[in-house]
Amino acid sequence: MRIEQLMERMQLPARAEFASLSGGLARRTLIARALAGQPDLLLLDEPTNHLDLASVLWLEQFLLSEKVALFFVTHDRAFLRRLATRIVELDRGVLTNWDCSYETYLVRREERLEAEERQQAAFRQEARPGGGVDPPGRPRAAQTRRGRASRRCRRCGPSAAPAGSGWAASTSAWPGRRGPA
């Protein structure tokens, strides 16, 4: 009995062949079949793809009125803004739970990225040779080797630069110097 009620609520034809339905009606039929089992959680992958505007608006309204937990993946920002109450983000291998609306998530994520950039800039400033405290995790011996490699490059020219030393392999004059080394 539940499926007939859902079909009526979802404005679906009672006895239509699935293959003859439009994309929007076919999607509604699939959702009706999923909801007929009264699930606790509905997983949707790009639910608005291949739907016309009327079907998308209907789907948003229908999902808002249903009492079922949703977990969905979408690129449709309007759909996301309307339905999301929590954002789960996977960024650079780290899973972050944002218990907020999409708009709040955007603001908080931007703040976090700016804080990371400030922290990285401060670390780069400290890591410069002669520019402050020894960078964490870099033993003094490594700094000394880097200093020796730098002096050798200045003395012998670019061909003597060890691989990965940070010096450009070029035959032009070093920055800040006039003429060949």
Summarize pLDDT for 24-65 with one digit per residue, the tens.
777 777 777 777 777 888 888 998 887 788 878 888 988 898
Distance, C-alpha 122 to centroid of its chain: 25
Share of the chain above pLDDT 90, in %: 29
Using CB atoms within 10 Å of the CB of residue 57, give its burial: 0 to 12 exposed, 13 to 18 middle, 19+ buried.
middle
E-strand ranges in the chain read 41-45, 69-73, 87-91, 94-98
For 160-181, what is the HEC assignment? HCCCCCCCCCCCCCCCCCCCCC
Task: Tell the residue number behind the tokens 């739970």, with chain if given.
Answer: 97
The answer, as to whether pTM is greater than 0.75, is: no
Question: How many Cα atoms sit within 13 Å of 144 on the Cβ side?
Answer: 3
Residue carrying structure tokens 């010096």:
167
Which single residue is written with the structure tokens 């909801």? 35
